């Protein structure tokens, strides 16, 4: 790199920081993406120069990116640069990388941006969690994504790049098997609906227990590094996984996070203690702004989670917002709303958002809780107070997306 | 006074089934009717009640609930005319036999001449059935295939979903309503809740407008389109 390129990157980095500072101060943007865009205008390869000299871990997949990335950050035990706001495209990566000079970076990467990010950041580790459809009518696209990942890993077939890949997911295996250096993780993966047809030959894949194979010879890898059952074993070492956060899928995420950390030399038994201690995951409990409202975002997607969240609400008459969807990731059946002790919200006024706001409103009505069905977001009166917004899975994502820090 | 009893919510309450008692009580209360709601757990005697609500449950709890009910006064109370709304597992328990995991056959209470075997696959999804001039909407999630014998009439005919056998859903006797629409079916279907309430109290009820009407209309629109 010549002097002028160095200078240009320096100017670009300064611009990213300045623009993001202004963006945050004026409340106009998230303060992550806009500056990143400006920086990349000035220096198109900014992400490359910002990644140079760092140990970069990329995390991608349809589900669990944010959680797994935060586990890697927590488990590393040293300062780690990360795109905490979930801005997982290049502008978000640039914005994250200019904020710190730490020698470690863990970046969550949108699936579609993985090939470019792989080329530009030259990571030490790439974690490939899973690939599944986001929407039923887009079933074809997920196979294309696997194809793009595979091509990218073929092009950057560098033995110094460790690919930590989910051996239970045929689409991930299809993408990762071309890489020179793969650490396969046999972690429970329940979603197999996208792995019905072989990504290689389109015939049906046979799944027997946790094993799978196709008649064309494509099959679950046998050389496994990490096995997660009742116990977690990485490289023949039993790791005392005991997460504070719930969910079997988070155990799988943690297993892959630990495998990634292991590959960069982090002591497993120390890392797992730090990961076990993680109490909250990016976004959850965060205070966000939206349309002049100040919102505290609370993820609550089942009765026990909801009960715990309701207990955190102030014992006053403040307004509470609740957003409920019943999309696939939420479960299509919102019957569980009747297992949530919404009676505890008596005395509050509850604004009902989300696709299933009428189910929610009916539940609240039977609980004798005052409610407002929000048909138009703009009609909600702005309060000076911070409003607690409880949302289930996809509704939470919607709000995290549309609100700002 | 009308007593509504939710039976074994700890065993038969997998899908928000408690919502049915809640909706029934609230709709009675708003009409100024004198009604009370009691919940009988698995360690309790079956109390005297005008209406019993039986919910859905997983296999183990379902067979346990059947055993407990068989040893209780429940069946004789129903034979003496107590009303029952039975959902999902509750629907199966009232019959002659039902099957749980592994095709193990269990004896039901024999209150209704119906038999439930294991279906080829689980029935999971939104359920809509035609009951007279009304649509009943809800969600089903069960592994049963229920066959009605003798003169037992189905409760509804399938518009969407599978119910008993992809043709009919549940059954209706003089004092029992049974459906595979689990969870808060009475909360979601105000007409059904009011039909039961009117029958149990022996009163003609005026319509009661609430947000449940909007939800019901929305689900009818979605499920019949």
Q: Taking CB atoms and an 8 Å cutoff, what residues of chain B touch A332?
A: 125-126, 139
Distance from CA of B11 to the nearest CA of A (A): 14
Residue A271, helix vs strand vs coil: helix
**Mean pLDDT calculated for residue range A153-177:** 94
Cβ-defined contact of B22 to A367 (cutoff 8 Å) = yes
Q: What is the mean pLDDT of residues A277-305?
A: 80
- The DSSP bridge partners found for residue A132 are none
CB contact under 8 A, A359 and B215: yes
Task: Give the number of A-B residue pairs with CB atoms closer than 8 Å.
Answer: 65
What is the per-residue pLDDT for A10?
Answer: 81
Closest chain B residue to A332, measured at CA: B125
pLDDT given for residue A135 in this prediction: 32
CATH number of A45-276: 3.40.1190.10
pLDDT at A2: 54
Closest CB to B184 among A338, A358, A371: A338
pLDDT in tens, B138-171: 999 888 999 999 999 999 999 999 999 999 999 9
Asked if B137 contacts B128 with a C-beta cutoff of 8 angstroms, the reply is yes
| Closest among B133, B155, B149, B138 to B189, alpha carbons compared | B138
Return all residues near A294 (Cβ < 8 A) that are at least 6 apart: A287, A288, A385, A386, A387
Q: Kindly indicate the confidence band of residue B80, based on its pLDDT and cuts at 50, 70 and 90.
A: very high
- Nearest residue in A to B213, CA atom: A362
- Tens of pLDDT, residues A214-250: 888 999 999 999 999 999 999 999 999 998 876 567 8
For position A295, what pLDDT does the model report?
92
Residue ranges, CATH 3.90.190, chain A: 287-402
Distance from CA of A233 to the nearest CA of B (A): 32
Cross-chain residue pair B187–A338, CB shorter than 8 Å = yes
Please give, rounded to a whole number of angstroms, the shortest distance from the CA of B30 to a CA of chain A: 10
A335–B16 CB contact, under 8 Å: yes
Inter-chain CB proximity A358 and B141 less than 8 Å: no
* pLDDT at residue A320, as a whole number: 95
User: Which tokens hold the place of A173?
Assistant: 């295996």
A335 with B215: Cβ contact below 8 A: no
Q: What is the mean pLDDT of residues A190-210?
A: 70
From edge to edge, which strands make up the β-sheet containing A386-391? A287-290, A293-299, A386-391, A320-323, A349-353, A370-373
Mean pLDDT of the A274-297 span: 84
Q: What is the DSSP letter of B117?
A: E
The pLDDT, as a whole number, for residue A308 is 63
Q: Is A184 exposed, middle or buried (0-12, 13-18, 19+ CB in 10 A)?
A: buried
Residue A357 has pLDDT above 80, yes or no: yes
ipTM rounded to 2 decimals: 0.96
Instruction: Kindly report, residue by residue over A30-46, the tens digit of the pLDDT.
Output: 456 777 787 777 778 88
Q: Do A362 and B182 touch (CB under 8 A)?
A: no
The residue of B14, B19, B126, B209 whose CB has the most chain A CBs within 10 angstroms, and thus the best one to mutate to test that interface, is B19
Angle between helices A139-155 and A114-121 (to 10 degrees): 20
Residues from chain B that touch A338, judged by Cβ atoms under 8 A, are: 16-19, 22, 183-184, 187
Taking an 8 Å cut-off on Cβ atoms, the answer to whether B16 and A361 are in contact is no
Distance CA B220, CA A368 (A): 25
Q: Which residues of A touch B (CB under 8 A)?
A: 332-333, 335-339, 358-359, 361-363, 365-368, 371, 373
- Give chain B's length: 225
CA A218 to CA B22: how far, in whole Å? 54
* Inter-chain residue contact B215 with A366, CB threshold 8 Å: no
Pick the residue of A193, A331, A335, A357 with the most B CBs within 10 A to test the interface with B by mutation.
A335
Rounded Cα distance between B223 and B96, Å, is 32
Q: What is the pLDDT of residue A4?
A: 64
Q: Are the Cβ atoms of B215 and A333 closer than 8 angstroms?
A: no
Give the pLDDT of residue A56.
97
- Cβ–Cβ gap A338/B218 under 8 Å: no
Distance from CA of B139 to the nearest CA of A (A): 7
Strands in A109-244 per DSSP E: 125-128, 162-166, 182-186, 206-208, 211-213, 224-228, 232-234, 237-239
- H helical segments located in A109-204: 114-121, 139-155, 170-176
Question: What digits encode the pLDDT tens for the residues A373-402?
Answer: 999 888 898 988 889 999 998 999 999 989
* Best CA proximity match to B7, nearest among B62, B58, B81: B62
pLDDT score, position B104: 80
Strands A320-323 and A386-391: parallel
pLDDT at A1 (0 to 100): 47
What pLDDT shows up at residue A313? 81
Class for the domain spanning A287-402 = alpha beta
Q: A25 vs A102, which has greater pLDDT?
A: A102
Mean pLDDT score of chain B: 92
Residues A101-116, mean pLDDT to the nearest whole number? 93
What residues contact residue A163 under an 8 Å CB cut-off, 6+ apart? A125, A126, A128, A153, A176, A179, A181, A182, A183
Closest CA–CA distance from residue B102 to any residue of chain A (Å): 17
In whole angstroms, what is the distance from residue B66 CA to residue A49 CA?
A: 69
Q: Does the pLDDT of residue B2 top 70, yes or no? A: yes
> For testing the chain B interface, which of A327, A328, A366 should be mutated: the one with the most B CBs within 10 Å?
A366
**Do the Cβ atoms of B139 and A362 come within 8 Å?**
no
Domains and CATH numbers, chain B: 2-223 (3.40.50.880)
Query: Could you tell me which chain B residue has the CA closest to the CA of A358?
Result: B215
Report the pLDDT value the prediction gives residue A140, as an integer from 0 to 100: 36
* Phi and psi angles of residue B166, each rounded to the nearest 5 degrees, phi first: 75, -5
**B131 Cα to chain A: minimum distance (Å):** 21
DSSP state of B187: H
Q: Among A309-323, A348-362, B33-47, B119-133, which range has the highest average pLDDT?
A: A348-362
- pLDDT attached to residue A284: 65
Contact B211 A333 (CB under 8 A): no
* Residue ranges matching CATH 3.40.1190.10 in chain A: 45-276
Comparing A33-37, A207-211, B221-225, the range with the smallest average pLDDT is A33-37
pLDDT value for A276: 95
Query: Which positions in chain B touch A363 (Cβ < 8 Å)?
Result: 19, 184, 187
pLDDT digits (tens, 9 = 90+) for B183-205: 799 999 999 999 999 999 999 99
Its sign, for the CA torsion A86, A90, A95, A98, is positive
Mean pLDDT of chain A: 86
Place of tokens 């982090």: A266
**Is the separation of the CB atoms in A389 and A312 below 8 Å?**
no
Tokens of A7: 């200078």
Answer whether B187's CB lies under 8 Å from B194's CB.
no
Q: At A178, is the secondary structure helix, strand, or coil?
A: coil
Question: Minimal CA–CA distance to A251: which of A270, A226, A269?
Answer: A226
A100-109, A199-208, A239-248, B152-161 — which is least confidently predicted?
Answer: A199-208
Q: Which residue has the higher pLDDT, A321 or A135?
A: A321
Asked if B214 lies within 8 A of A371 by C-beta distance, the reply is no
* Measured distance CA(A338)–CA(A10) in Å, rounded: 56
Which chain A residues are within 8 Å of B141, Cβ to Cβ? 333
DSSP 3-state of A99? coil
pLDDT of residue A107: 97
Question: How much is the pLDDT for A66?
Answer: 85
């Amino acid at each position: 790199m010549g002097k002028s390129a160095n200078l240009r990157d320096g100017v670009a980095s300064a611009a990213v920081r300045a623009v993001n500072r202004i963006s945050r101060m004026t409340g106009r943007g998230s303060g992550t993406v806009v500056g990143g865009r400006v920086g990349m205008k000035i220096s198109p390869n900014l992400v490359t120069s910002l990644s140079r000299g760092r140990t970069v871990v990329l995390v991608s997949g349809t589900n669990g990116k944010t959680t797994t990335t935060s586990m890697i950050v927590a488990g590393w035990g040293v300062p780690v640069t990360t795109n905490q706001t979930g801005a997982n495209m290049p502008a978000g990566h640039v914005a994250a990388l200019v904020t710190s000079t730490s020698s470690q970076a863990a970046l969550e990467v949108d699936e579609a941006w993985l090939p470019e990010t792989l080329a530009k950041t030259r990571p030490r580790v790439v974690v490939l969690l899973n690939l599944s459809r986001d929407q039923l009518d887009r079933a074809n696209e997920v196979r294309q994504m696997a194809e793009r990942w595979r091509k990218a890993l073929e092009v950057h077939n560098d033995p110094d790049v460790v690919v930590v890949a989910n051996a239970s997911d045929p689409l991930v295996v299809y993408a990762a098997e071309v890489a020179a250096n793969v650490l396969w993780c046999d972690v429970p993966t329940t979603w197999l609906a996208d792995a019905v047809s072989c990504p290689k030959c389109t015939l049906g894949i046979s799944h027997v227990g946790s094993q799978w194979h196709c008649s064309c010879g494509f099959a679950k890898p046998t050389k496994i590094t990490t096995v997660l059952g009742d116990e977690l074993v990485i490289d023949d070492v039993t790791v005392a996984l005991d997460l504070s956060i719930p969910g079997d899928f988070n155990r799988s995420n943690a297993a892959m996070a630990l495998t990634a950390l292991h590959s960069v030399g982090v002591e497993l038994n120390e890392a797992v203690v730090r990961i076990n201690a993680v109490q909250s995951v990016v976004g959850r409990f965060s205070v966000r702004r939206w349309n002049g409202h100040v919102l505290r975002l609370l993820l609550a997607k089942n009765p026990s989670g909801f009960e715990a969240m309701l207990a955190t609400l102030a014992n006053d008459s403040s307004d509470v917002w609740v957003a409920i969807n019943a999309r696939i990731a939420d479960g299509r059946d919102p019957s569980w709303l009747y297992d949530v002790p919404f009676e505890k919200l008596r005395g509050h006024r509850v604004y009902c958002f989300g696709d299933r706001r009428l189910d929610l409103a009916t539940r609240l009505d039977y609980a004798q809780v005052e409610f407002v069905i929000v048909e138009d977001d703009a009609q909600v009166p702005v309060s000076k107070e911070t409003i607690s917004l409880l949302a289930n899975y996809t509704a939470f994502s919607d709000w995290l997306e549309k609100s700002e820090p | 006074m009308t007593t509504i009893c939710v039976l074994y919510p700890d065993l038969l309450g997998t899908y928000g089934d408690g919502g049915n008692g809640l909706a029934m009580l609230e709709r009675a209360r708003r009409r100024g009717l004198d009604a009370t709601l009691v919940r009988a757990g698995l360690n309790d005697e079956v109390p005297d009640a005008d209406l019993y609500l039986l919910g859905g449950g997983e296999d183990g709890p379902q067979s346990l609930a059947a055993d407990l009910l068989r040893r209780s006064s429940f069946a004789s109370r129903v034979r003496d005319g107590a009303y029952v709304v039975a959902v999902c597992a509750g629907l199966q328990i009232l019959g002659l036999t039902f099957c749980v995991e592994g095709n193990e056959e269990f004896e039901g209470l024999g209150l209704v001449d119906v038999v439930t075997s294991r279906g080829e696959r689980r029935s999971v999804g939104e359920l809509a059935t035609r009951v007279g001039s009304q649509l009943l909407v809800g969600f089903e999630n069960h592994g049963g295939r229920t066959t009605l014998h003798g003169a037992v009439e189905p409760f509804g005919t399938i518009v969407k979903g599978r119910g008993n056998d992809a043709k009919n859903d549940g059954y209706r006797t003089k004092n029992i309503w049974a459906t595979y629409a689990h969870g808060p079916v009475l909360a979601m279907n105000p007409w059904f809740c009011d039909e039961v309430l009117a029958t149990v109290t022996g009163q003609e009820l005026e319509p009661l407008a609430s947000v449940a009407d909007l939800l019901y209309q929305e689900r009818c629109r979605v499920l019949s389109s």
